[in-house]
Structure 1
Amino acid sequence: MIEWFTTVQVVVAVLAGLLCLVLGLAGRSPNDLSMGAVALVELLLLAQVVIALIAPAAGNPPSGSLPEFWIYLISAVILPAAGGFWALIERNRWSTVILGGVCLAIAVMVYRMGQIWFVQGA
């Protein structure tokens, strides 16, 4: 992992989550803005997958449990796709709120992945 990229991911996920929560609680159904924010979070997660594959070979191994890290990362990659699919099927304000919750959960998961990679001892 790259530390600054992890920070960017957490900030973007929190901002996307807050945006979706505000839009949903204001009564807006999923639209291009909310779905685009979730798509950006997903894109950053896919970039993180590539980074996580290359980093150990480049001399940046995790300090914690590699299987635990990958479980977090795979789960985080699945969440926006599942939440976005649900939001497209059931288009109401609560779907937008759920998208916000998904993004906030991803922010916590990416923060934890950073702890596993940089801080936690094996």
Structure 2
Amino acid sequence: MFALNGFFIAGAVICALALVVAVVATAIRKHPDDWALIGAACTEVFLVVYGIAAAIRQGAGNAVQGDPWEFWGYLVTALVMPPVAFFWAISEKSRWSNAVLGASALVTFIMLFRMEQIWH
């Protein structure tokens, strides 16, 4: 069972925007620009807020329905991906750095979807 909530919708929108910007940048640019990098930064900020909210929800008694280690493992892994893609993009100034930013946004969305499945 999967239940939509505000955090999932916000995360899906942020990841989708970051993905679209990165795909467009891959198609038209030879190097990552500020907009593509901002997408990765926004994704990371969202994940930090999501993690804090998840800790508060769990501390308040709204327990994870699935395996808590699996949920927190997904979250930690998702938190690592945008910064890695960001630093890859600023260190390697190529068109494919934009593709890495897009892949990071897509995989982050998939992990967010899985975290919501585990929670509910």
TM-score, length-normalised on structure 1? 0.90
Contact 1:25 1:97 in 2 (8 A): no
User: What is the identity, as a one-letter code, of the residue corresponding to 1:88?
Assistant: I
Does the alignment pair 1:51 with 2:53? yes
Q: 1:76 aligns with which of 74, 78, 84?
A: 78
Q: 2:69 aligns with which of 46, 51, 67?
A: 67
Distance 1:66 1:28 in 2: 42
User: What is the identity, as a one-letter code, of the residue corresponding to 1:107?
Assistant: F
Local SS of the residue matching 2:81: helix
Does the alignment pair 1:108 with 2:102? no
Local SS of the residue matching 1:45: helix
- 1:17 aligned residue: 19
| Structure 2 portions without partners, runs of 5+ | none
Contact 1:41 1:103 in 2 (8 A): yes
- 2:89 aligned residue: 87
Identity of aligned residues (%): 33
Local SS of the residue matching 2:97: helix
Output the aligned Cα RMSD.
Answer: 1.3
What whole-Å deviation, never above 9, does each CA across 1:51-95 have from its counterpart, x for those lacking one?
A: 121111212111111000011100000000001111111011110
Distance 1:16 1:87 in 2: 14
Runs of 4+ in 1 over 4 A off after TM superposition: none
- 1:8 aligned residue: 10
- 1:35 aligned residue: 37
